[in-house]
Amino acid sequence: MNDKPLPETLLPLEVDGVSFRHRGQTLLDDVSLRLGHSGKTVIMGPNGAGKSLLMRLCHGLLSPSAGSIRWADGKAASDPDVRGRQAMVFQRPVLLRRSALSNIRYPLALRGMRRQQRTQRALDALRHFGLAELADRPARVLSGGEQQRLALARAWALQPRILFLDEPTSALDPAATKAVEDAVRAFHAKGTRIVMNTHDLGQARRLADDVLFLCRGRVLEHTPAGRFFDTPSTPEAAAFIRGELVW
Amino acid sequence: MVDGNPFAKALELILGLDQVLVGIVTLSLQVSLTAVLTAALLGLPIGAAVALYRFPGRALVVTVLNALMGLPPVVAGLAVYLLLSRAGPLGSWGLLFTPTAMVIAQTMLVFPIIAALSRQVVEDLWEEYREQLQSLGASRLRAIPTLLWDARFSLLTGVLAGFGRASAEVGAVLIVGGNIDGVTRVMTTAIALETSKGNLPLALGLGIVLLFLVAMVNATAFLIGEGAKRRLG
Amino acid sequence: MVTRVRTLAGRIQLRALLVVIITLALTVPAQTGDRYITLASTTSTEQSGLFAHIIPRFREATGIDVRVVAVGTGQAFSIGRRGDADALLVHDPAGEEAFVADGYGSERRDVMYNYFIIVGPRTDPADIAGVENAVDAMSRIAGTRSAFASRGDDSGTHRAELRLWGLADIQPSGSWYRELGSGMGPTLNTAAGMDAYAVADRASWASFRNRQNLVLLFEGDDVLLNKYASVPVSPRRHPHVRHELALRWHRWLLSDQGQQAIAEFRVDGQAVFFPGAD
């Protein structure tokens, strides 16, 4: 891993005819989509639509029951080169029982970075997210907002080409939510491809370049954000935007 | 007996720092701590591996590990005796009636406790950590030390339980150690010996000393664990 | 930075503890020197303190240490047969002869003797205190169905007790006859606890401290003779045994020096073993 920008060999991501079945239930059905080189994609949809599942499939945490997920040059999700250039921030970050600093150093060590470089990179990331003072604090005693920022800093240190965020603010107060949104913009400004799930319509409006609307395991819309919010093409999306109950 | 009070006897033994007693206490600690250390070095990663990997016969392995927690010390002792006896498969090592044989027997007793607990704790933790660790790029193999380290406070309890079992058992060490004066005599076998001599106050006094020692080891580990837990959340 | 210092302190503590444990572990005494033999012997000899008295004298004379594994005579034979001891000092003449005849022992020599005794509750319900001989005493115990605690562990004492029942033509059974499957000490503890009779060896009795109501009721019959013999384990069956060293022990026991050491041994001022080299 080095600090130079990586050559563009990861994106686009092609999801083709992907289904996911679990215990006889079809949770994702024939999903196809393409994620281009840049931008912030927000995945929306009612609970149980399969948003988190789709994200996990893209990130390679799960394998599809049918269909294919291909990165640039046809690379599979399991390709180590592909895995090493992604990061994901979860709804509830899992932090290790060690200091904030060590939490960031850990994945860098997994990538074989030298000890001294690890610490430097981790400190930079902490500083970037205003966590430098907490470097030696055990990660598990930080507040919820601080923990999520630490998770973002950990992703930051990995310098991913693409960042997945799975409802990163659903458990946070407004101040902490703003910090996360700022972080997303910072990642974007640095050229990181963003894919994010959210329930929060306001947040989607603030952040999305394009919206992927999922309902009952199917992709109903994938359009630029402006068009999605102004002229949704499916009744489900329209109802969802009006704040009605959709399932 | 003139001095029939076991508590007075225990106090006298502790304060008197009797040379023989010090030897017995030291050997007890050495044997049991070595056994626990060995069992932990084997049991923690093996338990974690069973937690993380799916393989044919896994359910059987888990069941056997859990069942072995109740292995009677005498049976463990007998197995090690037959193994190390000159007529047994490892007889040429000449280990019977040595402290090493006692360590082996106690390791057999402690290993299932530590491995079974490690399996349980790591499996629960893996449930919580799996996606995050996979996302960060940790393979299952690489996740093992990470999970063990994060579960260290829960695991410490299991290791202490193992130490309790090791230091309290008499059946195994008596058979494989032979209770040889000055060579393989430990607290529990000394207590058994004094009891059979009808020297009940002395036996009970030794028992109190043993209890005290085990309590000390537990308290030390507990305090360190609690302190670290408070700091690390 | 305060937290950092505290974390560091915690880490050092943990490390220190680990170092202590590992050091303790690594210093587990390995098998030291070759100048020792393993002797399988009986609980009676060990518990009386005889070995603590004579082994230092032997060590002084020869520089050889003796490690005593004290078990029942039956188990001592088994240890010897498996090659796990270099010599035996036991008290079951028939068993010893078989052990030598089967080629496990190189020879059997009488070393010392004492007498078995019959102990029982002070109240003596079977009234054996004044009887003529041991067989009579056993008959009375069985006849009155008085509680009797038997070793039941195939030890020399147990074998002697069974011999006595045989001489009295009695097959002991019933609720009064309790087979304990324990060593001499535990058997005496149990007998004291339930006011039972028991056959014991004099040495164990002399050093037994938990007598409660138990008293010595019968002694002095020649049929109660309890002979201890030394048997070195033969290198023909087990080439690895320390036969040379075991032979020196064997010969020392039979020598004037060894015999005198045995004669000098006292429990509470009382001789409990008598030299008896043949």
* Per-residue model confidence (pLDDT) at position C13: 61
Residues C120 and C220 in one domain: yes
**Does residue B226 have a pLDDT over 60?**
yes
Residues C121 and C190 in one domain: yes
Residues C104 and C230 in one domain: yes
C14 min Cα distance to partner chain A (Å): 15
Instruction: Provide the CB-side half-sphere exposure for B6 (13 A, CA).
Output: 15
- Tokens at B151, concatenated: 């579960």
The answer to the question of residue C89 being in a domain is: yes
Q: Where are the domains of chain B?
A: 19-184
Distance in angstroms (rounded) separating the CA atoms of residues A63 and A20: 8
Q: How far is CA A143 from the centre of its chain?
A: 21
Q: Is pLDDT larger for residue C9 or for residue B183?
A: B183
For residues B71 and B146, is the Cβ–Cβ distance under 8 A? no
What is the mean predicted confidence (pLDDT) over B109-134? 95
The answer to the question of residue C125 being in a domain is: yes
* Per-residue model confidence (pLDDT) at position A1: 45
Q: How confident is the model at residue B55 (pLDDT cuts 50, 70, 90)?
A: very high
Cα three-residue angle B61-B67-B71, rounded to 5 degrees: 125
Residues C120 and C57 in one domain: no
Number of Cβ pairs closer than 8 Å across B and C?
110
Q: How confident is the model at residue B4 (pLDDT cuts 50, 70, 90)?
A: low
List the one residue out of A7, A12, A58 whose CA is nearest residue A165.
A58
Enter the DSSP assignment of A213. Answer: E
For residues B150 and B138, is the Cβ–Cβ distance under 8 A? no
DSSP string, chain C: -HHHHHHHHHHHHHHHHHHHHHHHHHTS-----S-EEEEEEEHHHHHHTHHHHHHHHHHHHHS-EEEEEEE-HHHHHHHHHTT--SEEEE--HHHHHHHHHTTSBS--EEEEEEEEEEEEETT-TT--TT-SSHHHHHHHHHHTT--EEE--S--HHHHHHHHHHHHTT----STTEEE----HHHHHHHHHHHT-BEEEEHHHHHT----TTEEEEE---GGGEEEEEEEEBPTTT-TTS-HHHHHHHHHHHHSHHHHHHHHH-EETTEE--EE---
- Tokens at A164, concatenated: 């997945």
Q: In sequence order, what are the residues at sequence separation of 6 or more whose Cβ sits closer than 8 angstroms to the Cβ of residue A235?
A: none
For chain A, list residues whose CB is within 8 angstroms of any CB belonging to chain C.
99, 136-138
* Per-residue model confidence (pLDDT) at position C30: 55
Amino acid in the structure at residue C232: P
* Per-residue model confidence (pLDDT) at position C4: 46
For B62, phi and psi rounded to 5 degrees?
-65, -45
Peptide bond into A12 cis (omega under 30): yes
Chains that touch C (3 or more CB pairs under 8 A): A, B
* Per-residue model confidence (pLDDT) at position A9: 77
Tens-place pLDDT, residues C52-90: 999 999 999 999 999 999 998 889 999 999 999 999 999
Establish if C7 touches chain A: CB-CB under 8 angstroms: yes
Residues C71 and C132 in one domain: no
For the packed helices C156-167 and C93-101, what is the interaxial angle rounded to 10 degrees? 120
Q: How confident is the model at residue B22 (pLDDT cuts 50, 70, 90)?
A: confident
List the one residue out of C37, C88, C237, C99 whose CA is nearest residue B94.
C37
Q: What's the structural domain count of chain C?
A: 2
Q: In sequence order, what are the residues at sequence separation of 6 or more whose Cβ sits closer than 8 angstroms to the Cβ of residue A35?
A: A11, A12, A13, A15, A41, A58, A162, A193, A195
* Per-residue model confidence (pLDDT) at position C205: 93
Q: Chain A contacts of C1, Cβ < 8 Å?
A: 136
| Segments in chain C below pLDDT 50 | 1-6, 9
**Beta strand pairing status for A193-197 and A162-166?**
parallel
Residues C144 and C212 in one domain: yes
The answer to the question of residue C220 being in a domain is: yes
Residue-number span of the structural domain to which C131 is assigned: 116-224
DSSP string, B212-229: HHHHHHHHHHHHHHHHHH
Which A residues 92-121 touch B at CB under 8 Å? 93-94, 96-98, 106-107, 110-111
List the one residue out of C273, C244, C270, C245 whose CA is nearest residue C261.
C273
Which of C184, C203, C224 is the last residue in one of the domains? C224
- Tokens at A180, concatenated: 């996360």
For A195, phi and psi rounded to 5 degrees?
-130, 125
Report the phi/psi class of residue C88: left, alpha or beta, with left for phi > 0 and alpha for psi in -120 to 50.
Answer: beta
* Per-residue model confidence (pLDDT) at position A80: 75
Tens-place pLDDT, residues B188-214: 999 998 888 888 888 888 898 899 888
Distance in angstroms (rounded) separating the CA atoms of residues C165 and C168: 5
Tens-place pLDDT, residues B75-118: 999 999 999 999 999 988 889 999 999 999 999 999 999 999 99
Residues C239 and C254 in one domain: yes
Question: Is residue A222 classed as helix, strand or coil in its secondary structure?
Answer: strand
Chosen from B196, B200, B217, B229 to mutate, greatest number of chain C CBs within 10 A: B196
Residue with tokens 């060490």: B173
Question: Highest-confidence range of B4-18, B215-229, C76-90, by mean pLDDT?
Answer: C76-90
Q: Chain C contacts of A99, Cβ < 8 Å?
A: 7
**CATH superfamily name and code, B19-184:** MetI-like (1.10.3720.10)
For residue A121, CA distances in Å to A6, A114, A153 come to 17, 11, 10
| Segments in chain A below pLDDT 50 | 1-4
The answer to the question of residue C28 being in a domain is: no
Q: Which CATH number goes with the domain that contains C161?
A: 3.40.190.10
Residues C132 and C188 in one domain: yes
For C189, phi and psi rounded to 5 degrees?
-55, -45
Distance in angstroms (rounded) separating the CA atoms of residues C239 and A88: 68
Cα three-residue angle A7-A11-A12, rounded to 5 degrees: 145
Residue with tokens 């030696």: A136
The answer to the question of residue C26 being in a domain is: no
Residues C81 and C47 in one domain: yes
* Per-residue model confidence (pLDDT) at position C26: 66
Residues C142 and C210 in one domain: yes
Q: Chain C contacts of A138, Cβ < 8 Å?
A: 7
Distance in angstroms (rounded) separating the CA atoms of residues B224 and A243: 53
Residues C135 and C202 in one domain: yes
| Yes or no, beta carbons of C25 and B33 under 8 Å apart | yes
Q: How many CB atoms lie within 10 A of CB C268?
A: 7
Question: Is residue A162 classed as helix, strand or coil in its secondary structure?
Answer: strand
| Yes or no, beta carbons of B198 and C192 under 8 Å apart | yes
Residues C220 and C230 in one domain: no
Establish if C24 touches chain B: CB-CB under 8 angstroms: yes
